[in-house]
Amino acid sequence: MKENKVLFLTQAALIAAVYVVLCVAFAPISYGEVQVRVAEALVILPFFTPAAIPGLFIGCLISNLIGGSILLDVVFGSIATLIGAVGSWYLRSHKYMVMLPPIAANTLIVPFVLRYGYGVPLPVPFMMLTVGIGEVIAVVILGGVLLNVLERYRYIFQNKNFA
């Protein structure tokens, strides 16, 4: 049982670390009102392991903190990722459906953070469109490739006691 907890924490920590590294490495497109956060490709990971849920949340939280985001963005941006990750976990029996909750959560939450936190003067529906497009690029295109590649190596995530 102790091995399962260690594996879970290790996977969560690695996912968080990779999320942060991807945000920092691609910082010019990871932050701002028009963004394609490459790290969002990782939101498909709840398909493989529940450890991705805290991993993605903590990774997003740390990324927003070190990326210079305001408190409202740190909190609600991270919550959007958490909601998306939990939704993906619940849809894990439908391979490509795992992509929908993160796209929906970020498309619905982030524009309000941009508008009321950063004071971006663009209309919220327009920002929903731009955030949604960025999410589709990151999650469907990049995440879809990652999902298909990792499916071949699914065993690296396997632990009977997680499911």
Q: Taking the chain, what is the end-to-end CA distance rounded to the nearest angstrom?
A: 14
* The model's pTM: 0.93
pLDDT of residue 158: 76
Name, in order, each residue with C-beta under 8 angstroms of 161's C-beta and a sequence gap of 6 or more.
1, 4
Residue 102 binned pLDDT confidence (cut-offs 50, 70, 90)? very high
Q: Enumerate the domain spans of the chain.
A: 2-26+37-157
Placement of tokens 């209309």 in the chain: 123
pLDDT of 156 > 90? The answer is no
